[in-house]
Amino acid sequence: MAGNSIGKEFVVTSFGESHGKCVGVIIDGCPAGLPLSENDIQPELDMRIPSQLKIVSARREKDQLELLSGTFNGITTGAPICMLVKNKDTQSEDYESNKNIPRPGHADYAAATKYGRFNDYRGGGRFSGRVTVALVMAGAVAKKLLMKHGVDIVAYTSAVDGIRMEVAPKPENIREGRDENPIRCPDQLIAKRMEETIMKAREEGESVGGIIECVAMHLPVGIGEPIYDSLDSDLAKILFNIPAVKGVEFGAGFEAAEMKGSENNDPYQTENGKITTTTNNAGGILGGMSTGMNITARIAIKPTPSVAKEQHTVNMATMKNETIRVGGRHDPCIVPKAVPVVESAMAVILADHMMRAGFIPKVLKEAK
């Protein structure tokens, strides 16, 4: 298959490009019986560029959702759900002059080589971060579906440019604190420092990266299909699809590589008639299946490749060395914007695996 679809039961297909007419998504396999309207998705899109996120100088356009198919009387029917947002402010001419000058850290050179003269070089075309809007739309539906089945997912900024939360926040408290600041970090003091370092980077024509953490709560035990469609495999697959992600770890992650076995293993216990573990170094996943503990993932986001500073590059047509300053409005840090994208990505895979493991039926029992 051609690569723009993901999922086996809750199948998401993305379309659109940065400077085309729209960015959109189809969900094929969403169960019948889920109440769904534009109002369920629009807030998630707005969250991508919240009003207070002044540090993010992205396109000013508000993305207006259009829900084109798959519902009847405000409830999903089991038919494919198509959603899209139109692009605005797409000044393609900006890109013409530099079409042979690949921006370091971007997909330009690989894309130009792969697609030759048919490459859509306008703002990264299909490789633009803009395309993650599709994932956010699909994630909004996935999150609503999961929430109806008790599963809650929350992502947040845990580090920016080396400034990090040293203590993991309580999952149930994250969302509130996170939404109080534009950084999407649940600790207000640390968020303030992160904001300062981002502002400083902008002034210097630089950019910074960071780390997003994501927690999924209240999953049943046994989600994840052996061997190749294990839960961590599929989560990692969708997370690495997000532009700028360079590392993914679950639970103790890379730290586990330095632990002793008896230290890293999570001991089982009985708790209120349920089996739980006293620690969660596994990050809620063993043998590729959910253990019933929270799924915890950490995702490394590289600094925005578009920087105002002069960089070395080449002219692909003349094969001469060049320098480039990437102009336009660019985020000095995309971590805050990537938070809802990570949350959505996790939701899409968890919805798919909940369906695959039989915890969500194809026709919901009742709609409220």
Q: Which stretch binds its own copies (CB under 8 A): 5-13, 54-62, 169-177, 188-196?
A: 5-13
Nearest-approach distance from CB 39 to its own copies, in angstroms: 17
Binds its own copies (CB under 8 A): choice among 40, 59, 218, 233: 233
Q: Residue 292: left (phi > 0), alpha (psi -120 to 50), or beta?
A: left
Distance CA 25, CA 12 (A): 7
Beta bridge partners of 159: 164, 211
Nearest-approach distance from CB 368 to its own copies, in angstroms: 13
Q: What's the chain's Rg over C-alpha atoms?
A: 21
How many residues comprise the chain?
368
Residue 272 interacting with its own copies (CB under 8 A): no
Distance CA 72, CA 35 (A): 9
Beta bridge partners of 297: 214, 250
* Comparison of 70 and 171: residue with beta carbon closer to its own copies: 70
Binds its own copies (CB under 8 A): choice among 97, 189, 321, 368: 321
Nearest-approach distance from CB 307 to its own copies, in angstroms: 4
Residue 165 interacting with its own copies (CB under 8 A): no
Nearest-approach distance from CB 364 to its own copies, in angstroms: 8
Site for its own copies in 190-229 (CB under 8 A): 201, 206-211, 221-222, 224-229
Residue 261: its H or E element: helix 261-264
Q: Residues with Cβ < 8 Å from 138, sequence gap 6 or more?
A: 12, 14, 25, 27, 83, 344, 348
Residue 110 interacting with its own copies (CB under 8 A): yes
Site for its own copies in 279-298 (CB under 8 A): 281-283, 286-292
Structure tokens at 316: 């692909």
Binds its own copies (CB under 8 A): choice among 40, 55, 100, 105: 105
Residue 167 interacting with its own copies (CB under 8 A): no
Residue 32 interacting with its own copies (CB under 8 A): yes
* Comparison of 70 and 186: residue with beta carbon closer to its own copies: 70
CA dihedral sign of residues 332, 335, 337, 341: positive
Site for its own copies in 39-98 (CB under 8 A): 68-72, 75-82, 84
* Comparison of 115 and 180: residue with beta carbon closer to its own copies: 115
Q: Which stretch binds its own copies (CB under 8 A): 37-45, 147-155, 168-176, 274-282?
A: 274-282
Q: Residue holding tokens 């400077």?
A: 19
Q: Are 33 and 364 in contact (CB under 8 A)?
A: yes
Give, rounded to a whole angstrom, the gap between the first and last alpha carbons of the chain: 37
Crossing angle (nearest 10°) for helices 38-48 and 132-148: 130
Site for its own copies in 120-139 (CB under 8 A): 120, 122, 124-127, 131
The closest alpha carbon to 107, from 91, 125, 90, 130, belongs to 125
* Comparison of 52 and 150: residue with beta carbon closer to its own copies: 150
Residue 311 interacting with its own copies (CB under 8 A): yes
Angle (CA) 92-342-214 rounded to 5° is: 160
Q: Are 353 and 153 in contact (CB under 8 A)?
A: no
Structure tokens at 119: 């490459």
Residue 256 interacting with its own copies (CB under 8 A): yes
Site for its own copies in 236-255 (CB under 8 A): 236-241, 243, 245-254
Per-position DSSP letters for 268-305, written without gaps between them: EEEETTEEEES--TTTTEETTEE-SSPEEEEEEEPPPS
* Comparison of 50 and 287: residue with beta carbon closer to its own copies: 287
Q: Quick one: how far is CA 38 from the chain centroid? A: 20
Residue 179 interacting with its own copies (CB under 8 A): no
Residue 268 interacting with its own copies (CB under 8 A): yes
Residue 347 interacting with its own copies (CB under 8 A): no
Nearest-approach distance from CB 51 to its own copies, in angstroms: 26
Residue 301 interacting with its own copies (CB under 8 A): yes
Nearest-approach distance from CB 97 to its own copies, in angstroms: 16
Residue 17 interacting with its own copies (CB under 8 A): yes
